[in-house]
C-alpha cells in the first residue's frame, strides 16, 4: 500500500501516480516485511541490495532489474589525525549510490507494466535511471539542467535515453519535466522521479543494512554516520534503515546522523539553525556540489526530523572546504565528485572542533565518483 504523507489517503501499491491528489508525497507501507536474519544467515545471499529481500518491496524474481548494486566496500582513512571509515558507495554500477533506489523503483515500475518513463535529475540519478530503464527495456527521457557535467550527459545518452536540457534552476528542471508529463495526454509515460517515488527510498534503506552487516562482523557500529543532502534520500534511507534495525532488535540505537549541505544552497541547514520544525525553500547560489544543489527539498522537513531524532546535526560547508576535502581525499586514493567531498569537509570540521572524539567511530558515505565531474572540478580550480 502507498499512503500520502500529507493527508493520509491510501492507495494500492500498483496505482500509477507519482504524488497524491492533494499534491503530497507518497510513502510505501510494507505490509509483508519480515525480520532480517543475523549476519551469518546472509553469507550466501546475492552480492547486491537484493540480499535484504525481506525488507524490500515484494516483487517477483522476473521483475527484479539489477546490475549488482550495493555491497560497496568500507575503507579506513586517517582524517585530520583521527581514524575514520569511508563507505565507497560511488562504486555502484553507474558510479553513484542512486543505483540502490533506482533498482527498486524500476523493478516496481516493470512489475506494473510501465514501458515509458521520464525523470528529472542533476545528473547522477538520470544516469542511473537511464541504465536501469535500458536493462528493463523501457523508453526513457531525462530532463537535466543545461549546465550538467558533460560526462554525466554522455553517460545518459550512452544508455540510450533522450536528454532534455533546461535552462534555469534544479526546480525549473523538475517543473518542466512535470509539465511534459501532464501535457502528454496518452497517459502512457510515467513520471519516475527518484525524489518523489516512495519505492526509490525503500532501496536507499539498504545503506543502513549494509553498514550494520559489515560492522556487526567486527562488532563495531558507528557512533556517527555522515551523509550529503540535497533532496536528502541518502539521509532518509539511512535513517529509516537504521530505525528498522532497531525495531527488529538488530541494533541497540541509531547512529547519530550528520547531514551535510553546501553553504551556497542549504535549506535544511537554515531550518536546523533557526530551530524551526519545517524546511522552507531558499534561493540557492552556485556550488561545485551540483548533486545537492536543491533549494526546495520535497521531504526536507522529514530529513531535518531524522537528524534531530538520531541526536545528530545538520551542517553546511563552504566551497573552499569542499575543494580542499576533494583534494585531500584524492591524495589518499579516493576520487569523488565535489558533492561527496562535503562529507570529508564536515568530518574535518567536526574533528578539529572536538565534536567527534578520537575513540568515536565515524563513517562517511561517499556517494558519487569523481570521473564524471572532470569539467566541473577543473573549472572550479579543484584539480
Contact flag: residue 1 with Zn ion (CB under 5 A): no
Contact flag: residue 20 with Zn ion (CB under 5 A): yes
Q: Where does this chain touch Zn ion (CB under 5 A) — which range of 2-10, 130-138, 282-290, 370-378?
A: 2-10
Contact flag: residue 7 with Zn ion (CB under 5 A): yes
Please give the Cα distance from 8 to 10 (Å, whole number): 6
Q: Where does this chain touch Zn ion (CB under 5 A) — which range of 7-15, 196-204, 305-313, 323-331?
A: 7-15
Closest distance of CB 187 from Zn ion, Å: 20
Contact flag: residue 22 with Zn ion (CB under 5 A): yes
For the chain, the C-alpha Rg in angstroms (whole number) is 19
Closest distance of CB 198 from Zn ion, Å: 13
Contact flag: residue 24 with Zn ion (CB under 5 A): yes
- Report how many residues bind Zn ion under the rule CB under 5 A: 7
Cell of residue 100, nine digits: 540502490
**299-310 burial, b for 16+ CB within 10 Å, e for fewer?**
bbbbbbbbbeeb
**Phi, psi for residue 337 in degrees, rounded to 5:** -80, 160
Contact flag: residue 17 with Zn ion (CB under 5 A): no
What number of CA atoms fall less than 13 Å from residue 252's CA on the CB side? 6
Nearer to Zn ion, 27 or 147 (CB): 27
Per the rule left: phi > 0, alpha: psi between -120 and 50, beta: everything else, 311 is left
Map residues 338-357 to x or -, x wherever contact with Zn ion holds by CB under 5 A.
--------------------
Contact flag: residue 6 with Zn ion (CB under 5 A): yes
Instruction: Please name every residue paired with 260 in a beta bridge, in sequence order, or none if there are none.
Output: 228, 315
Nearer to Zn ion, 11 or 383 (CB): 11
Contact flag: residue 4 with Zn ion (CB under 5 A): yes
User: By the criterion CB under 5 A, which residues form the site for Zn ion?
Assistant: 4, 6-7, 9, 20, 22, 24
Amino acid at each position: 500500500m502507498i499512503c500520502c504523507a500529507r493527508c493520509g489517503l491510501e492507495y494500492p501499491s500498483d496505482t500509477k501516480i507519482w504524488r497524491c491528489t492533494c499534491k503530497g508525497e507518497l510513502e510505501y507501507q510494507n505490509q509483508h516485511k519480515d525480520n532480517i536474519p543475523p549476519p551469518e544467515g546472509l553469507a550466501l545471499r546475492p552480492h547486491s541490495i537484493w540480499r535484504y529481500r525481506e525488507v524490500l518491496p515484494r516483487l517477483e524474481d522476473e521483475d527484479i532489474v539489477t546490475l549488482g548494486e550495493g555491497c560497496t566496500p568500507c575503507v579506513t582513512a586517517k582524517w585530520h589525525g583521527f581514524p575514520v571509515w569511508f563507505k565507497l558507495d560511488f562504486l555502484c554500477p553507474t558510479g553513484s549510490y542512486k543505483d540502490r533506489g533506482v533498482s527498486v523503483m524500476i523493478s516496481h515500475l516493470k512489475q506494473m507494466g510501465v514501458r515509458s518513463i521520464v525523470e528529472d535529475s542533476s545528473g547522477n540519478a538520470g544516469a542511473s535511471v537511464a541504465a536501469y530503464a535500458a536493462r528493463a527495456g523501457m523508453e526513457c527521457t531525462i530532463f537535466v539542467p543545461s549546465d550538467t557535467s558533460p560526462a554525466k550527459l554522455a553517460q545518459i545518452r550512452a544508455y540510450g535515453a533522450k536528454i532534455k536540457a533546461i535552462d534555469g534552476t534544479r526546480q525549473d528542471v523538475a517543473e518542466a519535466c512535470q509539465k511534459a508529463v501532464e501535457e502528454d495526454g496518452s497517459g502512457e509515460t510515467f513520471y519516475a522521479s527518484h525524489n518523489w517515488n516512495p519505492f526509490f527510498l525503500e532501496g536507499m534503506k539498504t545503506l543502513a543494512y549494509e553498514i550494520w552487516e559489515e560492522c556487526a562482523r567486527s562488532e563495531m557500529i558507528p557512533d556517527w554516520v555522515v551523509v550529503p543532502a540535497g533532496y536528502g534520500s541518502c539521509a532518509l534511507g539511512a535513517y529509516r534503515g537504521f530505525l528498522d534495525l532497531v525495531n527488529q532488535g538488530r541494533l541497540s540505537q541509531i547512529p547519530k546522523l550528520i547531514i551535510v549541505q553546501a553553504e551556497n544552497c542549504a535549506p535544511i541547514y537554515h531550518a536546523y539553525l533557526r530551530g524551526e520544525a519545517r524546511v522552507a525553500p531558499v534561493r540557492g547560489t552556485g556550488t561545485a556540489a551540483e548533486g545537492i544543489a536543491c533549494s526546495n527539498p520535497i521531504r526536507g522537513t522529514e530529513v531535518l526530523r531524522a537528524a534531530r531524532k538520531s541526536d545528530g546535526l545538520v551542517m553546511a560547508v563552504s566551497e573552499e572546504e569542499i575543494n580542499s576535502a576533494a583534494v585531500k581525499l584524492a591524495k589518499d586514493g579516493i576520487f569523488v565528485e565535489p558533492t561527496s567531498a562535503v562529507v570529508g569537509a564536515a568530518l574535518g570540521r567536526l574533528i578539529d572542533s572536538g565534536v567527534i572524539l578520537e575513540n568515536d567511530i565515524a563513517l562517511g558515505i561517499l556517494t558519487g565518483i569523481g570521473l564524471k565531474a572532470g569539467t566541473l572540478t577543473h573549472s572550479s580550480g579543484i584539480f
